[in-house]
Every structure is written in C-alpha cells, then in structure tokens.
Amino acid sequence: MLSRVLPYLSVIFPNRVELAGVSGTQDVMAGLQKLHAMGAFAIALKLGSEGSLLYRGGDVQTHAGFSVQVIDTTGAGDAFNAGYLRAMLDGAAPQYRLALGNACGALTAGANGGTGGLKSLAQAQMMFSEDLA
C-alpha cells in the first residue's frame, strides 16, 4: 500500500524504527535504497540526537544533531518535519533544510510539552547560523 503513495510525495520523514518497519531491514542504507525503489523521491531520515540524513536517489547529505539537554521528546519529530518543510517551501538548499529541521527538533526536545522550547524561526536559525556560514 505504501508503494502506491510514495511516488506522489515530495519527501517522506521516517525515523530509524519506521524505516526498518517499512523496509524490513535494520541496515539504514539498505532501508533507504528499498524505500527509494518503492517510489520515494526524497527521504529525510530523522536520527534523533545524531541529526538527520537526506537521501535522494543515491545522493546522501547529513547534518549533525544539536546538543541540548533533553527534557521531553514529544513533538520533536514533528518539529523537525515542520522546519524541514518550511525551508523546502522557501526554496532553501538541502543542507539548510536539514539544519532547520534539526534545530526545530532540538529546541522542542529541550522543553516540556511538545512545542514549549520552539519560540520562533529566528531562534531556530540562531542554533546553526555559524554552522552554514
């Protein structure tokens, strides 16, 4: 069923557990290749504190995670998705998309309640401004 919708998505946002579940393998690269073969154009893989990875047809880009004291991971994955999509819709380069997604996820995990730590776009951008300079 998943293979029916994948060709219509601009990007899919699994984490490691979800990737393993849909691909049938614990090997990340094999899982990404399988998801791509099923029709996924771009896969933004969420790696928690390790950051994220963007896979597009064999091209792999990564961005390291940000160091925060984790208080509550509720909503961190959704915050990553929102940051990535915001950057994508703004026409930003893939590396910036990953950085903004990671920053949004990290800020969310650093506070209680899912969104308490993420106050603004500028706040998230400050986390990685030197990173992309």
- Fill in the DSSP letter of residue 129: T
**Helix %, strand %, coil % of the chain (to 5):** 50, 10, 40
* Catalytic status, residue 78: yes
How far does the chain reach from its first CA to its final CA, in angstroms?
A: 42
Which residue in the list 72, 78, 90, 131 is annotated as catalytic? Answer: 78
Rounded Cα–Cα distance for residues 109 and 105 (Å)? 6
Q: How many other C-beta atoms can be found within 10 angstroms of the C-beta atom of residue 90?
A: 11
Q: Among all residues, which ones are annotated catalytic?
A: 78
